[in-house]
Structure 1
Amino acid sequence: MGKGARKKGPKKDRAPKVRDVFVGQPFEGLAAEPELIALREFVPSATADLSLVDSPDRTVTLGTVLPMAAAAFVRSDGAAFVGMQVQTRSSDISRDLGRSVRWALQAEPGDVLSVPDTTGPPAEGERLQDLLVTGAELDATLHKDFSWWLPEDTEAGGEVAMSLERANAAIMPTERLGPGAYWVEAGEKAHLRWVRPEQENLLLQALARLSAAGEIGLGEGSRYAGSFRAHGLLVPVWDLDPDAHAREWADPAMQLGERLDAALKSLDEEPLNATERRARDGLIGRQLTLR
C-alpha cells in the first residue's frame, strides 16, 4: 500500500432515495373524486362517513376542517375524524389522507394528529384508493357551524373554544345542489362552483357548445364567470343573483347538467364548428389553477 493511502472499510448500506413525485390528480379512480375536491377546496363545514374496504369496527368521518386545522383526531366519545383542509401536504394528498385514516383507526379518544405524515417513504396500501371502496359516492352533510367537533351536550374550552369561534365566524352560507355542485353566498355575491369529473378538454368543448348556443347560463340572474383547476379536474363557476335562495337554483342547475351531458355526448358525432372553437378559446382565457 502506498504512502498516505487509506484502507477502505466495508461499505455501509445507504437508505434508498425516495423520489417525491407530484400527483396532479390525487383522487383519480374514486367515484367520490368531485366531492373530495369540493370538501378540500371550498366547502366550509361538512362531514361524510368514509366507506372503507376492510369495514373496521370504527367509523372514520371525513371533515372539512378540524380543531386547530388538525390532520385527524378522536373525540372523547370515540368518534374518529380526518381533516381535508390542512396546511401541510406532501406531493400526494391521497397518501397524506390515507395515512391519517390509518392513524385514526388505531388512535384512542382524545388523541390528535396535528399534521399528516408527509415525509415517510411511500408504501403499498396507504392511499385513499387502497382504503376506500372506489365505486362509493360520498354522502356529505353540510353544517351551519362546527359544533360537530364536540360530542353532544359538551362545551368547548381553551384553544378548542377559540378555534371553534374563529372557524364559525369564517363560514359562508353554502348549500349542495348536486354531486360536486355547491351554491355559496360570498358577501354581496353568490356563486355556483361545480367540480366536474370529465376530462378537461372534453368538458371545455361541451361548455363551448353551450356558450355558442346561448345555453351556458342558469337563466336570468346568472352569468358564467370562468373556471379553475383543482387537483386535476376543472371547476366551472357561475355568478348568481344573491337575492335568490339556493333552492331557486336547484332546478336550473339540474337542467344545465342535462344540457351539458347532452353536449358531451354530441362531441362523439359532431366536432366543434368555427363559432364553438372561438367560444372555447374564450373559455380557456378565463381559467386559473389551484394545486
Structure 2
Amino acid sequence: MAKKSRTKARQQQPAGEVGPRQPCPCGSGKRYKACHGAADGAPAPFVSRPFEGLPSECDVVALRELVPAATAPLTLADSTGHADRVVQLCTLLPMAAPAMVRDSGEVWLGLQVQHNFGDPARDLGAVLLKALESEPGIVGLTDPPGEGPRLQDLVVGDGLDVTVHDGFEFWIADAAESDRAALAAGLEQANAAASPTARLTTVEAAYWTNVGAKEHLRWVLPEEEGPLLDALARLHAAGQDALVDGSRFVGMFRAHGLLAPVWDLAVGTGPEALEESAERFAADLAAALADTSDLTTEQRSARSGLANRQVTLR
C-alpha cells in the first residue's frame, strides 16, 4: 500500500517543480524539504541565477566559487548616496568576514561568504548597505535581508577590473604593524590553501590554476545551459574541444545558473600557452552556438555524456 501511495504522489507532482525528497537545486546536498522547501519558510526561495545583471557576471561567479585570492573595485550608483566611496569586491576576507570597513573608510565586501538566505546577490547588497553606514570594523548579517536591493541594484559599470593575487597579502597592505601581527596566523593558513591562479587575457572569466599534481583551466560561460550543451557537444563530436597538446575537456561545474567547463592540462602548461587556443575555442564555440540544426546521433551521444559530467557547486 505504501508503495502505491508513493507512486501516486510522484504522478501528481506538477511538472517542473522539485519534489520534497529530491535534492535541493541550490547544491547543498540536502533534500528540498530540509532546505529551500522547508515548511517554516526558511531559508528564502532559491534564486537560480542570482548574479545576472551584474557587471562581469561570469567573473563574479568565478571569484565566488573557483578563485582563491582576487579583488575588483566596484563603482556605486548615485542612488546609494555613496558614489564617492571606495568599495573593493574581494574573494575572501580575514576570518571569512562578510565585509570590513577599513580605517581609511574603504569598504571591502567578501564574495565567498555563504549566508544561506536564498539569494546571495541580495545578501551582498544588504551587507554593502550596512557597511556603508558603519564605523571601521567587521560587518555582517544576523537576519535575512528582506526585500532590500540586490548587489546589481547598487553598482554601475560595464565590467570588472579583476586582479588575481598570489596570496592574501592584500589583507595587510594598509594595516598597522599591530594589526599585521594579529592577522599573521590567519594569513599564513589562507596562503597555504590558495592554489596558484591566473586569469586569461584574451577571453573573459577563464582561470588557469595549478593544484600541484595537475593544472586546470576553468572557464565560466554566460550562455543558457541548453544551447551551451548543444554547442559543446558539436565541438566534442568534432574533436574541437582540446585546447593545447596534453589538454582534455573533462566536464563542467554548474554554479549560480552558469556552466564552467573544465580542462585538465599537463603540468608545466602555464596560463600563457592557453591564450591563443582559448581565443580560438571561443570563436569555434560562437559558431557552434549559431548552428541551430538538429544534433546528429554522435552529437546527441556526446551531449548526454557531457550532461553526466556536471558537478553542481551552488
> What TM-score, normalized to structure 1?
0.86
Counterparts of 2:76 and 2:180, CA distance in 1: 33
Alignment match, 1:137? 159
User: What is the CA distance between 1:138 and its match in structure 2?
Assistant: 1.4
Say which SS state the counterpart of residue 312 (structure 2) adopts: strand
Residue 59, structure 1, aligned to residue 86, structure 2: yes
User: Partners of 2:101 and 2:172 in 1: how far apart?
Assistant: 10
Letter of the structure 2 residue corresponding to residue 45 of structure 1? A
Say which is worse superposed, 219-228 or 151-160, in terms of deviation: 151-160
> Is the 8 Å Cα contact of residues 175 and 183 (structure 1) preserved in structure 2?
yes
Q: Does 1:172 align with 2:195?
A: yes
Give me the CA root mean square deviation. Answer: 1.9
Q: What are the ranges of 5 or more consecutive residues in structure 2 without an aligned counterpart?
A: 1-40
Alpha-carbon distance between aligned partners in 1 of 2:289 and 2:101, rounded to the nearest angstrom? 44
Match of residue 269 from structure 2: 244
Match of 1:85 in 2: 112
Question: Match for 2:301 among 251, 257, 278?
Answer: 278
Q: Deviations over 1:93-139 (max 9, x none)?
A: 00111111112222223x211x335524223xx20121122x62111
Secondary structure, aligned partner of 2:75:
coil
SS at match of 2:58: helix
Find the counterpart in structure 2 of residue 12 from structure 1. none
Bigger share in helix: 2
SS of the residue 1:238 aligns to:
strand
Alignment equivalent of 1:231, drawn from 256, 260, 267: 256
**TM-score normalised over the length of structure 2:** 0.80
Q: In the alignment, does 2:284 pair up with 1:259? A: yes
Instruction: For residue 165 of structure 1, give the secondary structure of its aligned residue in structure 2.
Output: helix
SS at match of 2:250: strand
**Structure 2 residue 96 is matched with structure 1 residue 96:** no
Deviations along 1:5-59, whole A, 9 cap, x unmatched?
xxxxxxxxxxxx8982111111122342101100100111111011222261211
2:170 is the alignment partner of 1:148:
yes
Give aligned pairs, total.
268
* 1:33 paired to 2:57: yes
| Post-superposition CA distance 1:155-179 (Å, at most 9, x none) | 3445422211111111111000131
Alignment of 1:103-142 (within 5 A): 103-109=130-136, 111-113=137-139, 115-123=140-148, 126-133=149-156, 136-142=158-164
* Matches of 1:255 and 1:188, distance apart in 2: 27
Aligned equivalent of 2:13: none
Distance 1:18 1:185 in 2: 38
Residues 157 and 253 (structure 1), Cα distance of their counterparts in 2 relative to 1, 3 Å cut = same
Segments of 5+ residues of structure 1 without an aligned counterpart are 1-16
- Mapping of 1:16-27 within 5 angstroms? 20-27=44-51
Q: Distance in 1 between matches of 2:171 and 2:116?
A: 22
Q: Which one has a bigger Cα radius of gyration?
A: 1
Q: 1:149 to 1:213 in 2, by over 3 A?
A: same
Residue pair 2:49, 2:256 contacting (<8 A) in 1 also = yes
User: Deviation at 1:146?
Assistant: 1.2
Question: Relative CO higher for 1 or 2, CA cutoff 8 Å, sep ≥ 6?
Answer: 1
Match of 2:225 among 180, 183, 200: 200
CA distance in 2, matches of 1:45, 1:19: 29
Cα 1:214–1:49 shift into 2, 3 Å: same
Q: Which amino acid aligns with 2:119?
A: D
Of all paired residues, the percent bearing the same amino acid is: 48
Instruction: Classify the secondary structure of the residue corresponding to 1:225.
Output: strand
